[in-house]
């Protein structure tokens, strides 16, 4: 039976309940304003999971971090819309279609990243090459059809490779390919560039501490907490549930490329998504993974891809460059061996797991 509660008891109960709710709300507010929480959000962008985290010590900081993270995701999505070759309406896809008719007018942003990629092609003695697209397509087709490319197909694709055949006119803001059938693919730098743009947006929103992780292309902005830097783990290349080594970073980018990330198997052999533009073949399993630490995430991205092609020679190139370091994991007849550039031990505290 349901009984009506007399008015005075009802009033008492309401007052008591309101009191406890107010105390709870106040307690929550004090906790929320005093304790630092990690504001974190993930999005599926650029064919990978992008995660952005930022510590916030108050309700206002939390709101600011949430808004900034939203804006950073929007920027990554914009960059993807410009540089993706998987999107037929991207600026790069348009360039690849229209260059058959001569020079194509484009933006300063595209010209800038293409120029930086060409510069990197020279630095890496041809290992990094955005004109690798005909080979990328050939090997994607091999994967889909489960048939290795023929010598004729390989020769035809190799004949359309070479950054020196990209011609840029800065005054007219145009790009042109001097060999028929060439195409560009900025997949080896776009994620790093998008990460750097996301960091720029976060900083513009007043965020001083954050981590942007674009599927392995990372930037550690500021600190994780006033007492500790961001801790980053290098994935074990043969066991994705294991960390190979760990290090602490502040205001640095870190990026890992490896043969384990994206590959396919054909006739019992592994074929990586990274291609040696000089031979036309996907990289072998000599360099299992390469991790680059640099100020600029775009540089880290380009160098990580290049190192997989170059192996030990890449370490030599990195040692001759300023502000960039590398850790490579080599496959020594089945035994994984870690090698590092000269600056690694001096500048970073690496804990091998
Ligand atoms: P990443 O995962 O950063 O190592 O980049 C790999 C992607 O870059 C591939 O999926 C290709 O789109 C492209 N790529 C493959 N090989 C090369 C290369 N040698 N130089 C530049 N880009 C490459
Ligand atoms: Mg890369």
* Domain extent at residue 160: 99-177
Phi, psi of 195 (to 5 degrees): -65, -45
Residue 10 lies in a domain: no
Question: In terms of domains, do 233 and 145 share one?
Answer: no
- Ligand 1 close to Cβ of residue 307 (< 6 A): no
- Ligand 1 close to Cβ of residue 136 (< 6 A): yes
Question: In terms of domains, do 250 and 341 share one?
Answer: yes
- Ligand 1 close to Cβ of residue 274 (< 6 A): yes
Residue 269 is predicted with a pLDDT of 83
Residue 219 lies in a domain: no
Question: In terms of domains, do 173 and 284 share one?
Answer: no
Question: In terms of domains, do 285 and 346 share one?
Answer: yes
Residue 196 lies in a domain: no
Residue 261 is predicted with a pLDDT of 65
- Point out the ligand 1 atom lying closest to the alpha carbon of residue 117: 21
Domain edge (last residue) among 177, 193, 214: 177
The answer to whether the pTM exceeds 0.95 is no
Rounded to the nearest angstrom, the distance between the alpha carbon of 297 and the centre of ligand 2 is 9
Nearest C-alpha neighbor of 251 from the set 289, 227, 284, 218: 218
Residue 337 lies in a domain: yes
Residue 136 is predicted with a pLDDT of 96
Nearest-CA residue for atom 6 of ligand 1: 188
Nearest C-alpha neighbor of 338 from the set 317, 315, 322: 315
Residue 350 is predicted with a pLDDT of 84
Domain edge (last residue) among 147, 177, 207: 177
Instruction: Among 124, 134, 185, 261, name the best residue to mutate to test ligand 1's pocket (greatest count of ligand atoms within 8 A of Cβ).
Output: 185
Domain edge (last residue) among 162, 177, 192: 177
Question: In terms of domains, do 171 and 235 share one?
Answer: no
Residue 279 is predicted with a pLDDT of 95
Kindly report the CATH number assigned to the domain that includes residue 344: 3.10.520.10
- Ligand 1 close to Cβ of residue 309 (< 6 A): yes
- Point out the ligand 1 atom lying closest to the alpha carbon of residue 130: 21
Residue 270 is predicted with a pLDDT of 81
- Ligand 1 close to Cβ of residue 195 (< 6 A): no
- Point out the ligand 1 atom lying closest to the alpha carbon of residue 308: 4
Question: In terms of domains, do 168 and 242 share one?
Answer: no
Rounded to the nearest angstrom, the distance between the alpha carbon of 273 and the centre of ligand 1 is 7
Residue 251 lies in a domain: yes
- Dihedral of alpha carbons 220, 293, 116, 189, sign: negative
Instruction: Among 132, 157, 235, 328, name the best residue to mutate to test ligand 1's pocket (greatest count of ligand atoms within 8 A of Cβ).
Output: 132
Give the ligand whose atoms come closest to the C-alpha of residue 143: 1
- Point out the ligand 1 atom lying closest to the alpha carbon of residue 128: 20
Rounded to the nearest angstrom, the distance between the alpha carbon of 281 and the centre of ligand 1 is 12
CB atoms under 10 Å from CB of 206, counted, come to: 11
Kindly report the CATH number assigned to the domain that includes residue 145: 1.10.3980.10
Residue 15 lies in a domain: no
CA distance 217 to 228: 21
Residue 134 lies in a domain: yes
pLDDT tens-digit profile, the chain (353 residues)? 333 334 454 454 444 444 444 444 433 333 444 589 999 999 999 999 999 999 999 999 999 999 999 999 999 999 999 999 999 999 999 999 999 999 999 999 999 999 999 999 999 999 999 999 999 999 999 999 999 999 999 999 999 999 999 999 999 999 999 999 999 999 999 999 999 999 999 999 999 999 999 998 999 999 999 999 999 998 887 777 888 889 999 999 999 987 666 778 887 788 889 999 999 999 987 888 899 999 999 999 999 999 999 999 999 999 999 999 999 998 888 888 889 999 998 888 888 77
- Point out the ligand 1 atom lying closest to the alpha carbon of residue 85: 12
If one counts the domains in the chain, the total is: 2
Question: In terms of domains, do 263 and 326 share one?
Answer: yes
Residue 301 lies in a domain: yes
Question: In terms of domains, do 171 and 267 share one?
Answer: no
Question: In terms of domains, do 265 and 348 share one?
Answer: yes
Question: In terms of domains, do 243 and 325 share one?
Answer: yes
- Point out the ligand 1 atom lying closest to the alpha carbon of residue 217: 3
Question: In terms of domains, do 168 and 253 share one?
Answer: no
Rounded to the nearest angstrom, the distance between the alpha carbon of 174 and the centre of ligand 2 is 25
């Amino acid at each position: 039976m349901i009984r009506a509660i007399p008015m005075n008891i009802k009033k008492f109960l309401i007052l008591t309940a309101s009191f406890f709710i107010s105390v709870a709300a106040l307690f929550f507010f004090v906790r929320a304003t005093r304790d630092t929480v990690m504001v974190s959000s993930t999005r599926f962008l650029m064919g990978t999971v992008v995660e952005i985290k930022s510590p916030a010590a108050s309700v206002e900081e939390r709101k600011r971090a949430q808004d900034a993270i939203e804006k950073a995701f929007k920027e990554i999505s914009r960059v993807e819309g410009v540089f993706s070759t998987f999107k037929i309406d991207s600026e790069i896809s348009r360039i690849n279609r229209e260059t058959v008719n001569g020079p194509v007018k484009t933006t300063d942003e595209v010209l800038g990243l293409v120029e930086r990629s060409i510069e990197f092609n020279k630095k890496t003695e041809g290992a990094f090459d955005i004109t690798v697209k005909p080979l990328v397509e050939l090997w994607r087709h091999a994967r889909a059809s489960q048939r290795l490319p023929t010598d004729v197909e390989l020769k035809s694709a190799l004949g359309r490779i070479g950054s020196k055949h990209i011609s840029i006119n800065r005054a007219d803001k145009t790009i042109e390919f001097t060999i028929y059938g060439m195409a560009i693919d900025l997949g080896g730098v776009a994620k790093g560039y998008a990460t750097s743009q996301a960091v720029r947006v976060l900083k513009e929103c007043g965020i001083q501490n954050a981590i942007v992780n674009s599927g392995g292309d990372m930037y550690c902005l500021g600190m994780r907490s006033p007492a500790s830097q961001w801790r980053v783990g290098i994935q074990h290349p043969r066991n994705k549930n294991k960390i190979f080594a760990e290090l602490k970073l502040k205001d640095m980018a870190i990026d890992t490329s490896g043969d384990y990330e994206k590959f396919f198997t054909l006739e019992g052999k592994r074929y990586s998504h990274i291609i040696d533009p000089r031979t036309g073949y996907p990289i072998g399993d000599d360099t299992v993974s390469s991790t680059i630490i640099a100020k600029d995430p775009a540089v880290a991205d380009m160098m990580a891809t290049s190192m997989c092609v170059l192996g030990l020679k890449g370490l030599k190139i990195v040692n001759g460059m300023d502000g960039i370091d590398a850790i490579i994991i080599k496959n020594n007849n089945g035994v994984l061996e870690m090698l590092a550039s000269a600056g690694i031990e001096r500048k970073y505290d690496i804990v091998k797991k």
